[in-house]
Amino acid sequence: MGEDRPIALDEYPVHQVPLSMRHMATGDRNAYDRCIFQVFDHEGRALLILGLGVYPNVGVTDAYVTLRTGDTLHAVRASDALGDDRLRLAVGPLRIEVEEPLRRLRLLCDDDTLSCDLVWSADHPALWEPHHVQRRGGRLTLEGRRFVQAGSVDGVVRAGGEELRVAGWTGTRDRSWGVRPLPGEEGGRLAEEHPTEGFHWLWCPVRFNDRFLMVIVQEDADGYRTLNDATVVRPGHPDRQLGWPHPEITYRPGTRHPERAVIHLGDPRKPRELQVEILTSSPLALGAGYPPADDWQHGTWHGHGWTDRRTYDLTRPHPLAAYGVTDHAARFRLDGRVGYGIFEHGSFGRHDPSGFTGFDSVAT
């Protein structure tokens, strides 16, 4: 126990349980604490995604950045042992600096293949998402607390011999912590007796000039909704919920890749339509480490000081990407206003409301 000493965070009155900030309140190996940023222009030329996470009960921290331009996806990923300095958000060449909490952050990657130096500035207050809980049989598999926020981004990105000047691009972000399955989680009897038949997910943070809109929907194979929210944030006004969001998604034939969508919002007597136009897309299973990626996933140990660089040709088929979540940079229209945000979507397995009958079912 000689090495179990206080760390710097223990100096601050931030404790929630009678433990050092070195330790999680849970011994669950799947405990996590991480963030994701999406940065994109308004014409669909570029979409950058950057994230960083810590996994205290497996002793790992990792980070990644991906950039889509045209049909090429550049990626840099890094992983290392989790140290005691939790105020230093850095892994390999990637770093996040919190210049002003909830208002201003700096996103950096110093790598020869893909580099960035971006300042993310919030336009609106952060908004809590619904408390997220999932179980498999009697086992808690996911419990997460998240907030979401949108703002503007300025700086520079370099990749593939090109330099992109970023000025007033839209930036969205999600900050979450809790328990979430890591690779290596055993299925066992509960997984065998409670198989996942289908999963349908929609996550849409939208930045308008004078307001922020958040829509989130999660449904199972039968269409039973386990997450449901549509909230508008406006300066000087109380947050307003817009009722039960009803998405109508038009998919590219032969796929589950959305081409456009309409999300019906509000009171049925006064319907409102959020129109969605997809600009460009980045599958999170390619480069960003989200399941079912087969080259690297979050929380996995690759040794001290591991850094990996990849380039993906998006004109080629990547079968695993179809079974993961994809971030789509999109243009949104609501009540005569034009906004920009992320249409994050994943649909795999059976989903009765969409007419999908199984994992091999696609749009006609």
* Residue pLDDT, tens place only, 284-335: 999 999 999 999 999 999 999 999 999 999 999 998 898 999 999 999 999 9
- pLDDT tens string 14-25: 999 999 999 999
Q: Name the band, by pLDDT with cuts 50, 70 and 90, for residue 1.
A: very low
The confidence score (pLDDT) of residue 238 equals 92
Q: Is 39 exposed, middle or buried (0-12, 13-18, 19+ CB in 10 A)?
A: buried
Instruction: Record the tokens describing residue 109, joined without a space.
Output: 């990657």
Instruction: Record the tokens describing residue 224, joined without a space.
Output: 């039973």
- pLDDT tens string 146-201: 999 999 999 999 999 999 999 999 999 999 999 999 998 766 787 888 888 999 99
19, part of any domain: no
pLDDT at 2 over 80: no
Phi-psi region of 303 (alpha: psi -120 to 50; beta: other; left: phi over 0): left
Contact 179, 31 (CB under 8 A): yes
Q: How many domains does the chain have?
A: 1
164, part of any domain: yes
Question: Measuring CA to CA, which residue among 49, 42, 35, 278 is closest to residue 157?
Answer: 49
- pLDDT tens string 49-63: 999 999 999 999 999
- pLDDT tens string 248-286: 999 999 999 999 999 999 876 778 999 999 999 999 999
Instruction: Record the tokens describing residue 200, joined without a space.
Output: 């349908």
- pLDDT tens string 81-132: 999 999 999 999 999 999 999 999 999 999 999 999 999 999 999 999 999 9
The confidence score (pLDDT) of residue 186 equals 67
61, part of any domain: yes
Contact 47, 258 (CB under 8 A): no
Question: Measuring CA to CA, which residue among 219, 247, 228, 240 is closest to residue 330?
Answer: 247
The residue-averaged pLDDT of 132-143 equals: 90
Contact 188, 154 (CB under 8 A): no
Instruction: Record the tokens describing residue 9, joined without a space.
Output: 């965070």
CATH of the domain at 57: 2.40.370.10
26, part of any domain: no
CA distances in angstroms from 339 to 45, 50, 213, 241, 283, listed in the order given:
17, 22, 9, 18, 22
Question: Measuring CA to CA, which residue among 150, 131, 134 is closest to residue 142?
Answer: 134
Range of the domain at 219: 31-354
4, part of any domain: no
CA distances in angstroms from 19 to 5, 15, 16, 53, listed in the order given:
11, 8, 8, 21
pLDDT at 137 over 90: no
The confidence score (pLDDT) of residue 193 equals 87
Most distant CA pair in the chain, distance: 66
